[in-house]
Amino acid sequence: MDFELPEELRLLKDNLRKFVDKELIPRERETVNNVQLQKDLQKDLRPKVDELGLWHYDVPEEFGGLGLGMLAKVIVWSEISRTTALPARYLSIFGFPVSPILYTLEGRARDEYLMPVIRGEKTSCFAQTEADAGSDPAAMRTTAVRDGDHYVINGVKRFITNADEVDFAQVFAVTDPEKRARGGITGFLVDMNTPGLKVSASYDLMVDDRPCELVFDNVRVPVWKRIGNEGEGFKHAQSWINSGRIRHGARSLGVMERCFELGSSYAKQRKTFGAYLAERQSVQWPLTDIYMDMHKLKLMLYHAAWKYDRGDDCREDAFMVKIFGDERSFWAADRVMQIHGGMGLSKELPIERFFRDQRSMMITEGAVEVLRMALARMILNVR
Ligand SMILES: Cc1cc2nc3c(=O)[nH]c(=O)nc-3n(C[C@H](O)[C@H](O)[C@H](O)COP(=O)(O)OP(=O)(O)OC[C@H]3O[C@@H](n4cnc5c(N)ncnc54)[C@H](O)[C@@H]3O)c2cc1C
């Protein structure tokens, strides 16, 4: 057993740490709560990203990217998450965001959707959630009914991030109400300017995202814009869901590392009642707990990534890193906020933003209770 990172990954980690410290952390105060400025950073920093050699690090080699393995991606995700200068959910600084589902496209759909997204010419959103189908997407009501060489989509999706800005949506709809999750749900590529499709509302949240509601009123989509075969919607989602959960864990590690840095350095400078905060047991204990959590999460993450890269089943590991990471990183932000007193609430420091973002992570892409339910089914072998 070898607990050392390979030399090239140690180098990657060092270079990224310097990049984040030098280029991103100093811009946090100007970009906080300004999504446009956060997005503009990608353009501003492109020459520096090229110097790092990380452009399209997660695009597979066959599509012109670096195709980094999962362990390397965990390093990238965790290092870049030490800063609040970038949007919490879209780490697009090293390339244009490509939904992994798009890599399953073939023929015309690949040429007209995947490749333009990789080149930054088209953008997309992911439309699965509905008012009565969030944690349980199989309960969705949106339907797609075949009509000759088209499907006709009807229904309402909600909480769809960036739906008001993108060129097309990856929409999931019921094609067989009897089968539902077991082969009855299908994905489609729907251009946002298709007649009958309307962005009807957006939600003002405690995080920067403004997800929208989408109404489909007899929206006609040609058969070639179907994602894979009919009924394969959930199969495609499953193929990349482990990677998304590991990404959550990696983000949590970066957040915890920064919170620990901030908390420990403040506790060593700030004196109350004649002693440094770092000398008080009630301040030492949360800091030591964060330190232990960081170590646990790092071991869990590297193990999950190692299994992923070997092609082993890592579903259990992916559940664990998301649950543990989301919860403990939120707790770390909360405790470090407390250590900072009033300054912890200030937008001059990144802590309040970490606090808000990590709170939201416990709900999105699998609420922690739902993941525990799924983990319990696996480890207890129950329904
Ligand atoms: C910022 C943001 C961005 C989003 N972006 C997108 C997007 O781009 N595309 C998209 O399709 N969706 C998106 N969503 C939707 C997101 O995936 C859902 O909000 C999430 O799946 C939870 O669904 P829900 O809100 O309907 O909560 P519900 O499913 O109603 O659950 C509510 C709560 O009940 C509890 N719970 C639920 N089921 C169980 C259970 N079995 N056991 C125990 N407890 C349970 C959990 O605590 C959960 O938080 C986004 C949401 C947010 C907040």
| 107 located within any domain | no
Nearest residue CA, atom 44 of ligand 1?
Answer: 369
| 350 located within any domain | yes
DSSP strand pairing (168-174 vs 124-127): parallel
Q: What's the domain count of the chain?
A: 3
Considering the entire predicted model, what is its pTM?
0.96
**Confidence band, pLDDT 50/70/90 cuts, at residue 239:** low
Based on the fold, state whether residues 239 and 215 are members of the same structural domain: no
Give the model's pLDDT for residue 221. 98
Last residue of a domain, one of 227, 244, 260: 227
Report helix, strand or coil for 221.
strand
Based on the fold, state whether residues 222 and 238 are members of the same structural domain: no
CB 255 within 8 A of CB 351: no
Cβ burial 346-372 (10 Å sphere, 16+ → b, else e): eeebbbbbbbbbbbbbbebebebeebe
- In the set 230, 232, 316, 365, the catalytic residue is 365
In this structure, what CATH number is given to the domain that contains residue 15? 1.10.540.10
| 63 located within any domain | yes
pLDDT single digits (tens) 162-198: 999 999 999 999 999 999 999 999 999 999 999 999 9
| 253 located within any domain | yes
Residue 224: CB atoms within 10 A of its CB come to: 12
Burial class of residue 106 in the structure, from the number of CB atoms within 10 Å of its CB (0-12 exposed, 13-18 middle, 19+ buried): exposed
Based on the fold, state whether residues 204 and 320 are members of the same structural domain: no
Phi, psi for 156 (deg, rounded to 5) = -135, 125
Based on the fold, state whether residues 307 and 169 are members of the same structural domain: no
d(CA 28, CA 204): 22
pLDDT single digits (tens) 349-369: 999 999 999 999 999 999 999
CB 358 within 8 A of CB 329: yes
Based on the fold, state whether residues 55 and 136 are members of the same structural domain: no
Q: Which protein residues are within 6 Å of ligand 1, measured from CB? A: 125-129, 134-135, 159-161, 205, 207, 209, 211, 360, 363-364, 367, 369-370, 373
Q: At what angle do helices 281-310 and 233-269 cross, to 10 degrees?
A: 150
DSSP strand pairing (226-227 vs 168-174): unpaired
In this structure, what CATH number is given to the domain that contains residue 155? 2.40.110.10
Based on the fold, state whether residues 54 and 131 are members of the same structural domain: no
Is residue 8 annotated as part of the catalytic site, yes or no? no
Based on the fold, state whether residues 138 and 88 are members of the same structural domain: no
Domain that holds residue 22: 7-102
Residue 182 CA to its chain's centroid (Å): 26
d(CA 328, CA 48): 32
| 112 located within any domain | no
CB 326 within 8 A of CB 299: no
pLDDT single digits (tens) 312-321: 999 999 999 9
Which amino acid is it at 221?
Answer: V
Nearest residue CA, atom 26 of ligand 1?
Answer: 134
Based on the fold, state whether residues 190 and 244 are members of the same structural domain: no
d(CA 307, CA 325): 18
CB 152 within 8 A of CB 220: yes
| 326 located within any domain | yes
For residue 31, pLDDT over 90 is answered with no
Which amino acid is it at 332?
Answer: A
| 110 located within any domain | no
